[in-house]
Amino acid sequence: MGAYILKRILLMIPTLVGIMLMTFAVIQFVPGGPVEQVIAKMQGNDSDSTGRISGNTGNEAGGNQAQMTPGADAVNVKYRGAQGLDPEFIKSLEKQFGFDKPAPERFLLMMKDYLTFNFGQSYFRDRSVISLILEKMPVSISLGLWLTLIQYLVSIPLGIRKAVKDGSPFDVWTSGVIIIGYAIPSFIFAIMLIVFFAGGSYYSWFPLRGLTSDNFEQLSFLGKIGDYAWHLALPLFAMAIGSFATMTMLTKNSFLDEIRKQYVTTARAKGLTESQVLYGHVFRNAMLLVIAGFPGAFIGAFFASSLLIETIFSLDGLGYLFFTATVNRDYPIVFASLYIFTLSGLLVQLISDLTYTWIDPRIDFEKRDV
């Protein structure tokens, strides 16, 4: 097992580097980078409201805006909207944001820093990237944990029931419901919920945005719990509606496979009741795959599902941070988030595989190709 773990860890390195390299290469061709953002602010054409410029960029802008030379229009060849600006000022901006170095050198320096989890400073928030990520993480973890809990509490009993009633009308119509829920994109469903229940056009039963009310600190303990649940209701419902299908069908198929085995027939022949057979013998074996998939289910809820939902409901978590950073070209946050998300996904996949072997020793990944 040690050799398998080492092999998987070594394979993570080219995977992680490859994903970062592809994203870095694409970014080089995306217009509207941080230098352009500063130029837009100086020209009075910027509509961004994420925060002030870090460092002394504002002072440089004020002190250099009047330093215009007749040949400065050549700067526009590289930066749109830079007519009349001093080329030296543009070079100072490039140096501030690290664009004075060739792209390959910038990538290597970035990956070297990321090995020690040194993610640098945000371009426009005047704070370290790691402090921003740690600040937003509780919101995303909260969504991921509650979504995973709801997913397991609903999908496992439903999957067991569907296995016992296989082929019955109950099995057919529940399959139709969860497939329809799976087919509806979560962000579309979130918008529908807002329109109907958050003051969009019909009812105002739930808050439109945020994780707590403005008077949260003045509420009692039970009041805080109620307020928290009130704000989480719509985002969790939107995220959960499409998450039941995979877990439910996995549970059903696992139980069907076990129910058809010889030991179940033997247990029934001994006079055991159906409940004793189902929960005393079948449940323990059928739930191996479902339990082993918990790390993967959580990481999927934590990262994949939260981005759009956090954006739609203005929940200040990692997904919303990543979205605003992407829109405003705050590259340190974008690359750091991508690095953490990718590395976490790779590690969780390894943990999931190891969980399989721990729950069922018959599984041996060392005898298979990675």
Highest-scoring range by mean pLDDT, 43-47, 54-58, 178-182, 265-269: 178-182
> Cβ of 209: how many Cβ atoms within 10 Å?
13
Alpha helices in 165-302 (DSSP H): 169-183, 186-197, 221-240, 244-259, 262-269, 274-277, 283-292, 294-299
Question: What is the H or E stretch that residue 17 is in?
Answer: helix 2-27
199: left (phi over 0), alpha (psi -120 to 50) or beta: left
Q: Which of 3-12, 84-93, 215-224, 283-292 is predicted least confidently?
A: 84-93
**Model pTM greater than 0.85?**
no
Evaluate if residue 304 carries a pLDDT over 70: no
Tens of pLDDT, residues 120-142: 888 878 788 999 888 888 888 88
Evaluate if residue 69 carries a pLDDT over 80: no
Spatial distance between the Cα atoms of 21 and 33, rounded to a whole number of angstroms: 18
Spatial distance between the Cα atoms of 66 and 69, rounded to a whole number of angstroms: 9
Evaluate whether 174 touches 158 at the Cβ level (below 8 Å). yes
Q: Which of 48-52, 87-91, 138-142, 283-287 is predicted least confidently?
A: 48-52
DSSP string, 133-192: HHHHHHHHHHHHHHHHHHHHHHHHHHHHHHHHTTTSHHHHHHHHHHHHHHHS-HHHHHHH
Could you report how far apart the first and last alpha carbons of the chain are, in Å?
A: 12
* CB burial readout 324-353, b (16+ within 10 A) else e: bbbebbbbbbbbbbbbbbbbebbebebbbb
Backbone angles phi, psi at 198, to 5 degrees: -120, 35
Residue whose tokens read 């002072």: 59
The residues pairing with 128 across neighbouring beta strands, listed in sequence order, are 121
Domains of the chain in start order, with CATH, are 34-100 (no CATH), 130-367 (1.10.3720.10)
Closest CA to 143 of 12, 5, 305: 305
Tens of pLDDT, residues 17-26: 999 999 888 8
Record the tokens describing residue 164, joined without a space.
């016992």
Three-class DSSP category at 204: strand
Record the tokens describing residue 238, joined without a space.
């939107």
Question: What is the H or E stretch that residue 333 is in?
Answer: helix 331-359
> CB neighbours of 279 closer than 8 A, spacing ≥ 6?
none
> Cβ of 143: how many Cβ atoms within 10 Å?
26
> CB neighbours of 60 closer than 8 A, spacing ≥ 6?
89, 92, 93, 96
Evaluate if residue 223 carries a pLDDT over 70: yes
Tens of pLDDT, residues 224-240: 888 888 888 888 888 88
Q: Which of 43-57, 87-101, 249-263 is predicted least confidently?
A: 43-57
> CB neighbours of 309 closer than 8 A, spacing ≥ 6?
143, 186, 187, 190, 235, 238, 239, 315, 319
Evaluate whether 339 touches 24 at the Cβ level (below 8 Å). no
Evaluate if residue 78 carries a pLDDT over 80: no
